[in-house]
Amino acid sequence: MKDDYRINVRFHLDNSEEKKAADYLRSLGKSRNQFIVEAVTAFIRRENQSDSFSLGDIRQMFREELQAVSISQPQSEIQRSELSEQEQAENIQNILDDLAMFD
């Protein structure tokens, strides 16, 4: 058995997407084979990562990031420098409610 796996690819130049891909491959400054290997493995990595990233993960990330965020106001409008725990919780809940629209 050979150690190579070979495929042939045909591009129909009357199809704009296929022509665009063919033109790009022609313009590469590196091996087309190497480019295709890198593209396929990048696609596989992205596909595997997207399966493990849930809406809950996004919400948790927002919670963590929002805890460190402070909003600036003009000096004349500042009455106090920190939000109460209840105000912080309400702000976080408002953002999570907004994110729920994307479910």
pLDDT at 15: 93
| Cβ atoms of residues 57 and 20 within 8 Å | no
Dihedrals phi, psi of 80, to nearest 5 degrees: -150, 160
More confidently predicted of 15 and 99: 15
Q: DSSP class of residue 14?
A: T
Dihedrals phi, psi of 15, to nearest 5 degrees: -95, 120
Token duo for residue 39 = 């593209």
| Cβ atoms of residues 28 and 21 within 8 Å | no
pLDDT in tens, 45-98: 877 775 566 777 777 777 777 776 666 666 655 555 677 888 888 888 888 888
pLDDT at 17: 92
pLDDT in tens, 11-23: 999 999 999 988 8
| Cβ atoms of residues 77 and 36 within 8 Å | no
